[in-house]
Amino acid sequence: MKACVLLGNTRKKSITEATVKLFTDELTARDVKVKTFALREKNIQTCVGCDSCHSDMNSFGCVIKDDMLEISEEIMLSDLVVFSSPIYTWFATPPLKAVMDRLYAFAKFSETINMFNLMKKQHFALIATSGDECASNCDLLAEAISRLAKFAKRPYLGYFAAQDKGYENSTRQEVADGVRAFAEKCMGILGA
């Protein structure tokens, strides 16, 4: 089993990264191969809406040649795709948003065929952090990932959110217990 983790935090030593590490440690302990992309270190251009990706029905097909090609290949090999982001203005950070937009290239449609998606085995999940109450700050991103999964015709496993009370407290017991329980839930659904 494989997992692809998309780290949307824009700075190192963040509660987002610490929380995701607890999650990935749990996956690794269950023999899941985890590939993590720190999106802040990648060259990911924004989608330009050219629809060229729909002229290639058998591959990602995006005409932009950047690090999204490597990420898209890993997503195709993965059973679980984990989106992660701190919430600054009720949504994903720019690097994660750019990836989300570029996933449009996996959907294929033209005037002569009905829409289908190249992703066949992926499940989506979200890990979010927020400086304020998570239920009211993370809900828009959770809904966006849910809709992205629905658009891709793939299952959405839900999300785990942690309130950021400072990096030093990022491994406090309730966060650790919660994110490990979320990893266990995801693995149970995936049969791992």
The pLDDT value given to residue 131: 80
Closest CA relative to residue 71, chosen from 118, 47, 103, 31: 103
What is d(CA 86, CA 9) in angstroms, rounded to the nearest whole number? 6
The pLDDT value given to residue 54: 84
Q: Which domain holds residue 59?
A: 2-190
Query: What's the CA dihedral at 181, 183, 189, 190 to 10 degrees?
Result: -160
Number of domains in the chain: 1
The pLDDT value given to residue 144: 95
Per-residue DSSP letters for 97-133? HHHHHHGGGGEE--SSS--EES--S-EEEEEEEESS-
Per the CB < 8 A criterion, the answer to whether 141 and 126 are in contact is: yes
The pLDDT value given to residue 166: 61
Q: pLDDT tens across 122-143, in order?
A: 999 999 998 877 777 899 999 9
Does residue 47 sit in helix, strand or coil? coil
Per the CB < 8 A criterion, the answer to whether 106 and 29 are in contact is: no
Per the CB < 8 A criterion, the answer to whether 155 and 79 are in contact is: no
Which regions of the chain are under pLDDT 70? 110-114, 165-171
Does residue 8 sit in helix, strand or coil? coil
CATH of residue 82's domain is: 3.40.50.360
What is d(CA 151, CA 134) in angstroms, rounded to the nearest whole number? 25
pTM, two decimal places: 0.92
